[in-house]
Structure 1
Amino acid sequence: MRTKFFNLFTLSLILFISSTSLLFAVNDNPKRSEKIRESFWNSGDKNFDATEIPAKWKDESAVIIAKSSLLSYKKDVWLNTLNYDNYSHYRIKLLDKKAIEEYSQFSIPDNKIEYLNTTHVYAGFKVIKPSGEEIIIPVSNAVLEKGNLDHEKFKTLKLAIPNLEVGDIIDYYIAEELNFTPWSRYYIFDPVIFKLNSRHPIMKQKISFNVMRRCFINLKTLNGAPKFKEVNDEADDKTYYTLEDENRESIEDLRWFYPYRQIPSIKFKVLYAEKSEARSFPGFKGEYEKPKYEVSKDEVLELIEYLYDETEISSSLWSYMKRNKLNKEKNLDKLARDAYNAFRHTSYKGSQVYLITDDNDYFESKSSRVLLNLSKYYSRMKIPHEILIGIPRHISDLKDLILENELIYMLKVNTKNPFYISELGINQSYGSINPSLQGATVYSWQQAPAGKELKKITIPIDLAEANNTTSTVNIELKDMNEDLVEFELKRSAKGESKIYYQDLLMDYYTYNQEEQKRYNYTDAFNGKKDEIARLEQLKKKYLEGRTEKFNEALKNSMASDYDMSIEKVDDINIMKTGRYEENPEFVYTCKVEAKGTIKKVGPNYLIDIGKFLDMQVKLTDEERTRKYDIHMPYARSFEYTIKLHIPQGYTVEGVEDLNTEAINDTGGFSASAKLEGDQLIIHSKKYYNHNFEKVEKWPDMVKFLDESYNFTQKKVLLKKQ
C-alpha cells in the first residue's frame, strides 16, 4: 500500500512539474521582470543613450553603439545551490538592408525547469526610430519552437521585429538566471572566451563579472586587450571586475584565421569548491573570489601527476593483451603499436549497436585524456614514452595558459622507431601528430624515475607530402547535347587528409570484416531474446538505407567542391580503409553524373575541363588585402590526373593553354597537358608547404591560389572534323 501511495505521489509530482513548466515563459515573474527592465533601460549608462555613430563607419552594415555583458557566479547562503546569471545588453544602429534582415528575428532561450535545475529568462526589445520614437516589441509575440541538439530536446522562442528601416536603432537585453544543485562540492562552470571585435564595429563595450562564496576565477586577457579593474558597488555590496573598451573595428570571418591568436580576447573560467575539495583536487586555483592571472609550470606538473595517478589501465585492453599472450612480446616497438590497435578495437567493439540506434556521439574521437589509459599500459610494460601537454593552436600559446580544460594531450613513444599518438578515434591510427599541436610549444612529462619534471619542447610540423590527396578522374561525354558527363573518380588520401573521407564514407559495416579477421570475433547481438530481435530489425532497416545514405553524403560533399551540377553519385567502393599501418591510405572509387561543363558552339563543343579540378579557392576582392597572419590546419598537397575521352570524329584545341606553373616558398600549383591516342591527359599538383605563414607572405600565397583557381576556368574546344 505504501509503495502504491509513493508511486501515485511521484506520478502526481511529475505531472505537476510537467504541467507547471508549461506555464512558465520569458518574463514570467512580473516583479523581477520589471526590476531587470529598469536596470537595463533606465540604468543611467550614457553609452546606451547615444544615437549617433562616427562618420568613418557610415558605410558599415551596422554599428554596435553599446554592448554590455555581466556574468555573476555565487553559492547560496546555507544551501548547496549555485547561481549563474548571464546578462547581455546591445544597442545597434542598422545602416542597410542586410542589417535589417540580420536583426529582423531573434532567438530567445525559453525558461527551463528540471530536477534540481531552474533557468528563468527575461528579455526586452525596442526599436528607436530616427525621430526619437521608441517602439517596444512585446516578447509575448514570440513563437515557441522545439528542436534537438546532441540528442537533447530544447525549446527556443522566435521573436520577429517588424517594420525595421535603415537608420533604426534596436536596443535589446536578454537575462538568464540559472539556479541549480551540483552533484558534488566541486563544480566547474563552462569556460567563456570573449573577442573584443565582432562582425560589426563597436563604439563602447563593457564586460563585468562577480564571484561570491566559495568561487574561484581564472582570467587571462590576450593580444592587447585592456586589463580588468576591481570595482566596489556599495549599493548591492558586491565587488565586480570590469573591463571597458571602445572603438573596435569590424572583423568579418576570414579564411585561415585564428581570432583568439590575433585579436584582443579574454578567456576565463569559474570554479566552485568547498575548502576540503579545493585542497583535494589540484587545479589552477588562486584565492576565493580573487582573479588568478597566471599558471606556473609547477601547477601543470601537479595536475598531470594527479590525473596520471587517478588513471587506470583500460581493463578491456589489459584483458585482451593478456588473453592473447601479446604481453609476452619482447619487441617493444611492435608491442606499443599492437597495444594501440587493440585499445582502439576494444574501445569501439560493439559499436554496431550505437550505429543502428543513431548514437553518433559514440563515434567521435575519445578525449585526449583517454591516452593516459594507454600511457599506464605502456608504463606497466616498460615501453619508453612521454606525455605531451599543450594548448590547441587555434586558442593560444602555452604561455597564455589559464584553464585546465584548454589542455590537450598526446603521446610520443620512444622505442627504436619513435612515433606519436594523437587521439583514440574509430578511424584514427597511430603515427599521426595532432595538427592542433604541430609547431606549438608543449610540456613533456615522463613518469618517474625518468621524469618528475616538465620540460618544454616544440612539436614537429608535417611536410605537405604527409597529408596528400591523389585523384584520378576518367571522363566520358555521355550526351554532349544534353550537357551530361559521366566520370569515374578514384581518390587516395593519407595523413590528416584522409580523416574527412573516412568519416564521410565508412561505418562499422565497412571495416567489420577487416576487424573480425584481425581480432577473431563475431558481431552477434547480446541480451534477451526480445532485445536481440529489436536490434536485428534495426540493423536490417539501417542496412536497407545504407547505400543511399553514403551516395547522398558524397553527392552533397562533391556539390560543394565542384563548380558543376552533381546529378548522381553511386557505385562507391572502399578499396582501402586506411586504418592500419600496412595500408595507411584511404582509397575509394565512385561513379558520378554531372551537368554544367559542356556548351555547344555551332558544330563544336566547349568543354570546361578545368572544372574537374575540385576544391579550389576563389579569393574575393576583400580577401586580397590581408592584415592578419595565416593559420592553416596543416601542410598538405593535392595531385590530379584528369583523363578526357575524346569522342570519335572530333579533335581538341586549346591544349597548350593548360600548361601553367606558380611556385614559391609558401606553396605552388602546376599543371601540364598532352594528347595521347583518343585521350586528353592533364596532370596537376597543388601544395601548401606550411601550416602557418606570416601576413607578409600572403601575396605569395595569392599567386598560386589564383593560378589554381584560374585553371578551373580553362576550356578546350572539341572541333568537328
Structure 2
Amino acid sequence: MKIKLLWAALLCNVFFVLGQSASEVRDEIWSASDPYKKANTVPEKWKNESAVIIYKHENYDYHKFGINVTYTSSIRKRILLLDQASVKEFSEFSYRDKFYSNKALGSFWRRGTNFIGVKIVKPDGKEVIIDTDKEAKEVDGEKKLAIPNLEIGDIIDYYFYSVEPFKSVYDYTFEAVETPLGDVYPTMNLKINLHTENDFFLNFNTYNGTPPLNQIDTGKSSDRLFELKAENIEKNEFPRWFYPLAEMPCYKFQVIFARSGKFEKLADGFLPESEKVVKKTISKEDIFEYYNKKFYPDGDLGVVNRYLKEKSFATEEEKVREIYYFCRHEFFTRYFEAFVVNEAKIMYPFAYYGTNPIFFRDEVPFVNYFMQFLKKQEISYDVIIATPRFNGSIDDLLIQQNVRKLIRVNTPKPIYIEYFNAYSGTDQVNYSIENSKAYVLEVSKGKRVTDVSNVTLPSSTYKDNVSRIKTKVDLVDFTGYKVQRDAAYFGHLKESEQDDKLQFYDFVYEDYNRYGTMKLMDYVRKEKDRKQYTNELDALIKKLKDKQNETYKSNVESEYEVKVDDYTFEIKNTGRYGKDNALEIHDGFTIANNYVKKAGDKYLLEIGRFLTSQIEIDKKEIERKNNIYMSFPRSFENEITFNIPEGYSVSGLEKLNKKVENETGGFVSTAEVKGNQLVIKTLKYYKNYFEPNANWNKMIQFLDAAYQFTQEKVLLKKN
C-alpha cells in the first residue's frame, strides 16, 4: 500500500509540472506585484540607442521529488524600442512549444514544455497581450509568432519559460551557462536567480567587474536561493577578433546533481565540498584530486605491439608519432565507414568488428591508453590540463567541460598529442590553447599523477600557419577568364581547411591502404550481400561527391564574388601525417563576362580580384573600444600568374606594388612582367595572438592595403 501511495505521489508531482498552464506561467511572470509593470522611461544618455532593456530577469530552478528531477528556466525582457531596426528585430519570434529532453530515459519522462508570452505596451500605457496559442503558426517543426502593429516608442515585454522534467537515480551534470553580463542593448535593471536544494551542487563566479552572487535566506536548511543584481549596464559590442569572456563583465555557472556521496565521486565536474557551499575557484589541489582518479595507464596494447613487431625507429620521437597515427586509424577512423552506412541504413555494420572493439569516444580513454603505451615503452611523459583562451585564463577555470587534456611526451624535443579527430597530428598544440598558461599533471615512473605544476604551452608563428596559393589566369575571348589554382596549407590553417574540405572517403581509404586494414565490405561474407551493400555505398559516395563539388563551387563564388562555371576539384594530398605534410588542393573554373571592361581598343582587367575578397573595414569598425584576440598568428601567400595574350602588353603595374608592415602584421605585394606573363606576388600576415586596442589603427593600415589591392586594375593594350 505504501508503494502504491509513493507512486501516486510521484505521478501527481509529474503531472502537476507537465500540466502547468500558460495562464499560470503568465500570472507568475507578469504578477500583480511586478515592480516593473509600469516602468516606461529610460535614461537620457540612452535616448539615441536602437533599444533599451528596462528590465531583464533570468531564472534557473533545480528541484527533485523522489526519482524525478525538474529543471525550470526562464528569461524575461521588457524593452523600449527606439528605432525601426529594433522594431524589425522583435516583430517575429521562433520557438518550439514541446520537446523531448535529452536528459532522461523513456519517452514519458522526457516530455518538456516551453511557454512564450508577449505583450505590447503603447506610449499611452495601453497593454496588448498577444494570444500566442492562437497567433503562432507551425513552420518546419517550429512555431512562428508574428507581432502585429509594433511601432517605434512601443515597449515589448516578453518571456520564454521552459519546464524540463526527467528521471534520474544517479547523477547528472547540467549544461554550463557562460555569458557576458551585458546585452546588445543597454540594460537598466538585471536580476538573475538560481534556486536549488540538497543534492544540487553549484559552481558560480563572476568576472571582470560583475557584481557577486548573493544568497537569500529561505528559512529552510535544504532550500537555497541565490541572486545577482546589476544596474545601468552599457551595451555589449561584439566586433571581429574578440573573446568576450576574456575581458567583458561576465558570469559562469554550472549545477551538478548527485544523489549520494558515491555519485558525487563519479560526477563530471569540480564539486564544492557540500551543497551548502558555492564553489568559485578551482585550485591546483582540485585539479589533482579530480584528474588523479581519472588518469592512469590502462588498455590492451596487443594490436600496437603486433604493429611494432617488425618495425624499427631511429628515435623515440619517430616511434611515438608513428604509433599516434596508427592508433588514430585503428581506434577511430576505421569505424567511419560503419557510421556512414549505418546512418544511411544500408546495413547494420558494427557486428563485424568483434564483441568488444576499441573506439575512443573522448579524451579520458585516449589519455589512459597512451599512458599505458608510454609506460610500457619507458618513455617519460606528463598530462597537460588547459582551457581555450576564449574561456579566459586557466586561473579562472570553473567548468570541467572547458578543459582540454593532452599528453606531453618528454623526448628531447617534447611531443604534444591530443585526442583524435580525423586530421589531428603530433607536434602541434591545438590553436585554442597554445600560448596559454596550463597545468601539468606530473606522472611518476609512468604510473600515477603525483603533483601539479604550471606551464606555458608552446606558440606558433605566422610562418608556421600558412596558406600558399598559386593561381594561373588566362583571358578567354577578352570577356572572361580560365582559372587554375594550386593551394597548399600548413599549420592551423591546414586544420581548418581539412575540416572544411575533406570528406570521410578522402581519408578512410587512404588509411586502409597505409595500414593494410580490411575495409568494411571485406567483412561481408555473402557475395550477394557484399555486392548490394557495395553498390549502395558507391551510390552514396557519388551523391556526396556531387554535393561536395557543388558546395566548393559555391565557396569559390563567395570568394570571388562572381558566378563560376566548369568547376573541378581534386584533393592532391590530405596532409594528415605530420606538421610539415601539407594539405594540397587543385581546383579550376571559368569566369564569364566579369573582371574585364573594354575601353576602345584596350581592356581594363580587374586583376586585383584574383587575390579573392579581403576584409573591408567599415565606418562602424574604425572606432574600436575592445582589444583584439586572434585565434593564432598566420600568413597568406599568393602568386597570381596572368598569361598575356600574344601581341598585347600590360601597364599600370605601379598600383600593384604595395608595402605596409608594422608590429601587428603586414601586406606586401609586387608585380612584374616576365616574358609573356604578369607575375604578382602578395603576402598578408598577422603576427600576434593579441593586440591592445591602441594597435587597431596599425592593423587597419595593412588590412586596408590588402583590400585596396583587390580594387586595382591593369590596362591591356595592343603592342
Cα deviation for residue 328 of structure 1 reads: 7.9
The TM-score normalised by the length of structure 1 is: 0.88
The equivalent residue for 1:627 is 625
Distance 1:624 1:358 in 2: 48
Which aligned pairs between 1:25-36 and structure 2 lie closer than 5 A?
29=19, 32-36=21-25
Cα deviation for residue 369 of structure 1 reads: 3.6
Residue from 90, 101, 104 that aligns with 2:91: 104
Cα deviation for residue 571 of structure 1 reads: 2.7
Assess if the C-alpha contact under 8 Å between 2:97 and 2:115 holds in 1.
Answer: no
* SS in structure 2 of the partner of residue 46 of structure 1: coil
RMSD: 2.7
User: Deviations for 1:456-478, whole angstroms, at most 9, x for unmatched residues?
Assistant: 01012101111111010111111
Cα deviation for residue 220 of structure 1 reads: 1.2
Cα deviation for residue 631 of structure 1 reads: 0.8
Residue from 108, 122, 131 that aligns with 1:129: 122
Assess if the C-alpha contact under 8 Å between 1:343 and 1:374 holds in 2.
Answer: no
Distance 2:631 2:238 in 1: 16
The equivalent residue for 2:7 is none
Residue from 189, 197, 201 that aligns with 1:204: 189
Identity of counterpart residues, as a percentage? 29
User: Deviations for 1:621-664, whole angstroms, at most 9, x for unmatched residues?
Assistant: 12112211111111111111011112233321211221110011
Could you tell me which amino acid in structure 2 is paired with residue 172 of structure 1? Y
Cα deviation for residue 388 of structure 1 reads: 0.8
CA change 1:538–1:146 in 2 (3 A) is farther
Cα deviation for residue 94 of structure 1 reads: 1.7
Cα deviation for residue 83 of structure 1 reads: 1.1
Cα deviation for residue 507 of structure 1 reads: 2.5
User: Deviations for 1:13-67, whole angstroms, at most 9, x for unmatched residues?
Assistant: xxxxxxxxxxx9xx984x6433321221125343353112222222222221111
Range with bigger deviation, 232-241 or 246-255:
232-241
Distance 2:171 2:222 in 1: 26
User: Deviations for 1:67-105, whole angstroms, at most 9, x for unmatched residues?
Assistant: 1001011221xx111111101111112222222221111
The equivalent residue for 2:241 is 256
CA change 1:125–1:67 in 2 (3 A) is same
* SS in structure 1 of the partner of residue 390 of structure 2: coil
* SS in structure 2 of the partner of residue 92 of structure 1: strand
Could you tell me which amino acid in structure 2 is paired with residue 446 of structure 1? E
Cα deviation for residue 712 of structure 1 reads: 1.0
Is 1:44 the counterpart of 2:33? The answer is yes
Cα deviation for residue 515 of structure 1 reads: 2.2
Could you tell me which amino acid in structure 1 is paired with residue 578 of structure 2? E
Distance 2:219 2:25 in 1: 19
Is 1:508 the counterpart of 2:494? The answer is no
Cα deviation for residue 356 of structure 1 reads: 4.8
Is 1:162 the counterpart of 2:160? The answer is no
Is 1:337 the counterpart of 2:324? The answer is no
The equivalent residue for 2:697 is 699
Which aligned pairs between 1:387-536 and structure 2 lie closer than 5 A?
387-449=383-445, 452-481=450-479, 484-525=480-521, 526-527=523-524, 529=526, 532=530, 535-536=533-534
* SS in structure 2 of the partner of residue 256 of structure 1: coil
The equivalent residue for 2:82 is 95
Could you tell me which amino acid in structure 2 is paired with residue 126 of structure 1? K
Distance 1:469 1:626 in 2: 28
Residue from 600, 603, 606 that aligns with 2:604: 606
Assess if the C-alpha contact under 8 Å between 2:652 and 2:713 holds in 1.
Answer: yes
Distance 1:86 1:203 in 2: 22
CA change 1:326–1:208 in 2 (3 A) is farther
Could you tell me which amino acid in structure 2 is paired with residue 604 of structure 1? K
The equivalent residue for 1:276 is 261
User: Deviations for 1:280-302, whole angstroms, at most 9, x for unmatched residues?
Assistant: 33742222143111222111011
CA change 1:237–1:97 in 2 (3 A) is farther
CA change 1:115–1:394 in 2 (3 A) is same
Assess if the C-alpha contact under 8 Å between 2:333 and 2:508 holds in 1.
Answer: no
CA change 1:630–1:209 in 2 (3 A) is same
User: Deviations for 1:263-283, whole angstroms, at most 9, x for unmatched residues?
Assistant: 111110101112232453374
Distance 1:662 1:65 in 2: 47
* SS in structure 2 of the partner of residue 203 of structure 1: strand
Assess if the C-alpha contact under 8 Å between 1:47 and 1:204 holds in 2.
Answer: no
Distance 1:359 1:674 in 2: 53
The equivalent residue for 2:3 is none
Is 1:217 the counterpart of 2:217? The answer is no
Cα deviation for residue 126 of structure 1 reads: 0.9
Assess if the C-alpha contact under 8 Å between 1:369 and 1:408 holds in 2.
Answer: no
Which aligned pairs between 1:15-414 and structure 2 lie closer than 5 A?
29=19, 32-76=21-65, 79-112=66-99, 114-143=107-136, 145=138, 155-182=141-168, 184-233=169-218, 238-278=223-263, 280-281=265-266, 283-286=269-272, 287-309=274-296, 312-313=298-299, 315=300, 318-322=302-306, 325=309, 331-346=315-330, 347-356=332-341, 367-372=362-367, 373-414=369-410
Distance 1:237 1:493 in 2: 58
Cα deviation for residue 318 of structure 1 reads: 4.0
Could you tell me which amino acid in structure 1 is paired with residue 134 of structure 2? N
CA change 1:387–1:615 in 2 (3 A) is farther
Distance 2:217 2:374 in 1: 53
Cα deviation for residue 121 of structure 1 reads: 2.4
Could you tell me which amino acid in structure 1 is paired with residue 226 of structure 2? Y
The TM-score normalised by the length of structure 2 is: 0.89
* SS in structure 1 of the partner of residue 161 of structure 2: strand
* SS in structure 2 of the partner of residue 465 of structure 1: coil
Q: How many residues align?
A: 677
The equivalent residue for 1:6 is none
CA change 1:569–1:702 in 2 (3 A) is farther
User: Deviations for 1:573-617, whole angstroms, at most 9, x for unmatched residues?
Assistant: 222210113861111111022253112222222111111112521
Distance 1:138 1:198 in 2: 27
CA change 1:36–1:506 in 2 (3 A) is closer
Distance 1:230 1:513 in 2: 58
Contiguous gaps of at least 5 residues in structure 2 = 1-14, 101-106, 351-358
The equivalent residue for 1:20 is none
CA change 1:272–1:235 in 2 (3 A) is closer
CA change 1:527–1:169 in 2 (3 A) is farther
Distance 1:538 1:42 in 2: 60
Distance 1:327 1:216 in 2: 51
Distance 1:717 1:675 in 2: 13
Range with bigger deviation, 269-278 or 137-146:
137-146
CA change 1:551–1:223 in 2 (3 A) is same
Assess if the C-alpha contact under 8 Å between 1:640 and 1:684 holds in 2.
Answer: yes
Distance 2:600 2:638 in 1: 31
Range with bigger deviation, 116-125 or 280-289:
280-289
The equivalent residue for 2:4 is none
Cα deviation for residue 719 of structure 1 reads: 2.2
Range with bigger deviation, 489-498 or 611-620:
611-620
Range with bigger deviation, 284-293 or 63-72:
284-293
Assess if the C-alpha contact under 8 Å between 1:554 and 1:569 holds in 2.
Answer: no
Assess if the C-alpha contact under 8 Å between 1:371 and 1:410 holds in 2.
Answer: no
Contiguous gaps of at least 5 residues in structure 1 = 1-23, 148-154
The equivalent residue for 1:13 is none
Assess if the C-alpha contact under 8 Å between 2:186 and 2:233 holds in 1.
Answer: yes
Cα deviation for residue 668 of structure 1 reads: 0.8
Assess if the C-alpha contact under 8 Å between 2:258 and 2:264 holds in 1.
Answer: no
Could you tell me which amino acid in structure 1 is paired with residue 548 of structure 2? F
Could you tell me which amino acid in structure 2 is paired with residue 575 of structure 1? K
